[in-house]
Amino acid sequence: MTTDTPAPVVTGPRTAAPEGTRLSGRARLVLFVLCAAQFMVALDFSVLNVALPALGRDLELSPSALQWAVTAFTLPSGGFLLLFSRIGDLYGRKKLFLAGLALFGAASLLATLAWSPAAFLAGRALQGLGAAAIVPAGMSLLTTTFPEGPLRDRALGISGTLLSLGFTVGMVLGGVMTDTLGWRSTMGLLAVAALVVLVLAPGLLAESRTPERPRLDVPGAVSVTAGLLALIYALSTAADRGFGGTDVRAALVAGLVLLALFVRVESRSPAPLVSLPMLKRRTVAWGNVGGLVTFSMMSTVIFVLTLYLQETLRLSSFLTGLVFGVQGIASALAGSLAPRFVGRFGARRTLVGSLLGQGLFTAALLAVGPDAGALVATVAVSLGSMFHLGAIISYGLTVTSGVPDGEQGLATGLVTTTQQVGLTLGIPLLGVLATTRASLFDGVRTGLAVDAALVVVAALLVAAGLRRRRA
């Protein structure tokens, strides 16, 4: 911690993990609560995907309107992240975390009981708003609870593993629950999970915030939130209708203009929402570039591979889920190994190596054929996901290492914003390549080739950007 940055205010039960490499019993409980919340949000991203056709039939949603079941969640979850992360810094991360859990649980119940499309989409939007509070507050509580070093590496490794596993489990579990209990059970599961975490969290977590409470940067909050909302709307809508629509192009331009205005506002604000000097840190800037690439490109791989397995090879939803189940097991294994690589080679080298591995195994998917290739796809995507998990863990460590506790909310807010924007960005940009070609198989190959090339190029750029300057 730098000498000119005051320590964060911490009240309530002591949760800080002791120095060393072993987690105490209480620290494990704290880690369980924080990781369970992150896993729950990750589950929400994917558990509904395979239930969309059944949901559409039940609520009489047209195929073109089904995308809003996803967009209604991603708009607020990505748009409000930076604002909520700063609110947690100033007014209490534990308070924000608990409020987010309560809102998420109530919204999940609304989505479960939805009697009309409007009620369901309102529930999804409120779920996204709750997630925008849970994710940055939970990450800040994790990084301020566990000191920088082996304990934080291990905690972030477990968190990253469960985050990645949540997406995979959601795809498998969503199919099973929809077939046996109906699509509403997927939303009910999230309501129960939020309730369990909400009951356990108050007695385990300590309050944490910055000691000084400057005025909230309202102009910055408005510009960045509106800019992210416009940008995510444009990209999400383009995934369904392409970039030719007037509303899509207008939203895209508005989003870019508002984000440019945000940068200008922050440069002049006495209490900025985002510290521009922090963005000038090579670790923060290039670490987030690595995170943006790994999330956006792997989400594209999953989307494109799902099309290939179901539309080209004609595999059932159950068998497709098994492919991603193997991927989930590989991700869990990588989560236990990645911290060891970070400890031996450092977060920066691990990030670069993980990006290279992800790119190379994405390229290996080009070996699949139009009539066979499920085994190749399973092996390649599983190994690629292991490197993806390594990139998730190492980019979070790269960005947050060396950042004072009083600014951890800002740093983790950037990390989680990068994650959410990355998950939204890849499919609209590269998924269009797979769905607009005359042959779906040719489109899949084109999308995978561009994906692999972008990841490898990004790895080389991140390596150059993170290279230590010689004295």
How would DSSP label each residue in 133-175? HHHHHHHHHHHHHSPTTHHHHHHHHHHHHHHHHHHHHHHHHHH
| Helix ranges, 205-272 (H) | 218-241, 246-268
> What is the token pair recorded at 16?
């800080």
Residue 207's Cα: distance from chain center in Å?
Answer: 24
Q: What does DSSP assign to residue 261?
A: H
Residues written for the chain: 471
144-175 as b/e, with b when 16 or more CB fall inside 10 Å?
bbbbeebbbbbbbbbbbbbbbbbbbbbbbbbb
| Closest CA relative to residue 407, chosen from 277, 224, 231, 243 | 277
- Is the Cα torsion angle 41, 46, 50, 56 positive or negative in sign? positive
pTM of the model: 0.69
Which tokens is 443 given?
């489109």
State how far the Cα of 218 lies from the Cα of 215, in Å rounded to an integer.
8
- What's the rounded Cα separation, in Å, for the pair 292 and 301? 14
Amino acid at residue number 287 = G
**What is the C-alpha separation between 186 and 18, in angstroms, rounded?**
38
* Amino acid 361: pLDDT: 93
Predicted local distance difference test score (pLDDT) of residue 204: 77
- Residue 454, pLDDT score: 92
Angle between helices 408-426 and 282-307 (to 10 degrees): 30
pLDDT digit string (tens) for the chain, length 471 residues: 333 333 444 444 444 444 455 666 677 788 888 888 888 887 777 777 667 667 777 887 765 566 677 778 877 877 777 778 778 877 788 889 999 999 999 999 999 998 888 899 899 989 989 988 888 888 778 877 776 667 776 777 777 667 666 766 777 777 777 777 888 888 888 999 899 989 988 887 777 666 666 667 778 778 877 887 787 777 767 656 667 778 888 988 998 999 889 888 878 877 776 667 777 777 888 888 888 889 888 878 877 787 788 778 887 766 776 777 787 778 778 777 877 888 788 888 889 999 999 999 999 988 888 887 788 888 998 899 889 988 888 887 888 776 666 666 667 667 766 776 776 667 666 766 666 566 777 878 888 898 899 999 999 999 988 876 433
User: What is the structure's pLDDT at 433?
Assistant: 67
pLDDT of residue 377: 87
- The label of the residue with tokens 């949760």 reads 15
Structure letter (DSSP) for residue 149: T
Distance, C-alpha 454 to centroid of its chain:
19
Beta-bridge partners for 10: 208
Nearest C-alpha neighbor of 426 from the set 293, 276, 320: 293
Phi, psi of 428 (to 5 degrees): -60, -35
